A and B are shown apart, each in its own frame.
Chain A
């Protein structure tokens, strides 16, 4: 999904949705590199959500810009999990919501 103009409030909802989808993923079924990607991505989402809660969460219509460098740096990790999830989805191993959640988060970066 290409980067689009979204408000802080919409971005916050996307981050929460992605956080939930990643939380639903069973870490023990993932290969080791994806386990590490998952943990790193969850940490990046956590930091970005906290930054939004302190500052810009309802700066209403202002255009969203990432607030933490961890979130920006986690882009490749999100992509990697997304690729893995797309394959796993074909095999019926994960629900489609995970791919959608990651796609929405990537649209913020």
Chain B
């Protein structure tokens, strides 16, 4: 089913790109930048959804645990602490907003608009970005303090470029300068998504080579981050519902229908655990694809500046980085919708 959907999407994107082949040089670039911006916005939105879902999952786990203790006549403390503080949540939202703002600026400029000044959103985003600290974006599940500080520092570089007034003619150099901060920002998000792998004392996953800083050859990713948090939350909630089923089977009022309802709910939770993790793996891959697609845009802009007629790779090659990124994002959007539907059903139980 998944591969059939993928084929359909690839076919649809091929048709779009064939249409794009009839466009002129600058129009082609404008269309490419527009597709890039749409996909980046989608990526940021999916990730923001997952931050929200992880926080809600934490509430669900505690709600279900407290509920069962009350049902058994216990007197538990009824309180919940969010996983992330408000400042930590704001830091993540600012990074995602900056990503969207940059892609939007790029797209608008290539559509012929001259951005002499930024929108209010852009100024606020850049300002928020400069204020982020390692306390707000703690990646100590995988990085030491120095490494985290370095990545966070790159955000202020990103913010500075975001604030520059830009003209179409300057885009080639601006996007080229922006590539490194964008790569670091992607590495930051990749690490924040983290891993759900049970590695024992040694962490087995590595940061993909295209997101690695040049001087750092091997960056390991340990269990933790969004994937680790969601995985543990749903695992604990599955256990809680198994305990309910076990206790129910011992009571006189237990009916087959009651038991089946509990079992169905456990199945849903197990499915969500798997699907949510798969979605985040895809989002991590999409961050890498986004960097590749951006590199392609940089090259296309440089070629346009030199008045070369050979345009973006996407125009002639439907297997180019931008094509792969946009195709992947369409698939991710569908998977995100499925995860959201399942999550909404589970929330109501």
A27 to B242, CA, bound (A): 9
A46 to B61, CA, bound (A): 9
What is the total number of residues of chain B having a CB less than 8 Å from a CB of chain A? Answer: 41
Asked if B246 contacts A27 (CB within 8 A), the reply is: yes
Chain B residue with Cβ nearest A49 = B232
Chain B residue with Cβ nearest A35 = B72
Asked if B72 contacts A56 (CB within 8 A), the reply is: no
A39 to B279, CA, bound (A): 30
Asked whether A57 and B72 contact (CB < 8 A) given A43-B62, A50-B233, the answer is: no
A55 at the A/B interface (Cβ < 8 Å)? yes
B83 at the A/B interface (Cβ < 8 Å)? yes
Asked if A10 contacts B201 (CB within 8 A), the reply is: yes
User: What residues of chain B lie closer than 8 Å to A13, measured between beta carbons?
Assistant: 200-201
Asked if A54 contacts B236 (CB within 8 A), the reply is: no
Contact with B along A62-96 (1 / 0, CB 8 A): 00000010100000000000000000000000000
Chain A residue with Cβ nearest B85 = A54
* Interchain CB contact (< 8 A) of A39 among B58, B69, B203, B250: B69
A56 to B200, CA, bound (A): 15
Q: Point out which of B142, B144, B233, B239 has the most chain A C-beta atoms below 10 A from its C-beta.
A: B239
Chain B residue with Cβ nearest A12 = B223
Asked if A28 contacts B247 (CB within 8 A), the reply is: yes
Asked if A28 contacts B250 (CB within 8 A), the reply is: yes
* Interchain CB contact (< 8 A) of B72 among A36, A54, A60: A36
A43 to B249, CA, bound (A): 23
The bracket for how many chain A residues form the interface is: 20 to 34
Asked if A54 contacts B224 (CB within 8 A), the reply is: yes
Contact with B along A40-61 (1 / 0, CB 8 A): 1011001101101111111110
Contact with A along B227-270 (1 / 0, CB 8 A): 01100110010011001001101100000000000000000000
Asked if A40 contacts B69 (CB within 8 A), the reply is: yes
Chain A residue with Cβ nearest B220 = A58
Chain B residue with Cβ nearest A51 = B83
* Interchain CB contact (< 8 A) of A50 among B58, B140, B142, B246: B58
B126 at the A/B interface (Cβ < 8 Å)? no
User: What residues of chain B lie closer than 8 Å to A59, measured between beta carbons?
Assistant: 140
User: What residues of chain A lie closer than 8 Å to B224, measured between beta carbons?
Assistant: 52-54, 57-58
Q: Point out which of A16, A42, A59, A68 has the most chain B C-beta atoms below 10 A from its C-beta.
A: A42
A27 to B84, CA, bound (A): 32
Chain A residue with Cβ nearest B238 = A23
A26 to chain B, nearest CB (A): 6
User: What residues of chain A lie closer than 8 Å to B198, measured between beta carbons?
Assistant: 16
20 A-B residue pairings within 8 Å (CB atoms): A9-B201, A10-B201, A19-B236, A27-B246, A28-B247, A28-B250, A39-B68, A40-B74, A42-B239, A43-B65, A43-B76, A46-B232, A49-B232, A53-B141, A53-B225, A54-B138, A55-B138, A57-B222, A57-B224, A68-B81
Interface residues of A (CB under 8 A from B): 9-10, 13, 16, 19, 23, 26-28, 32, 35-36, 39-40, 42-43, 46-47, 49-50, 52-60, 68, 70
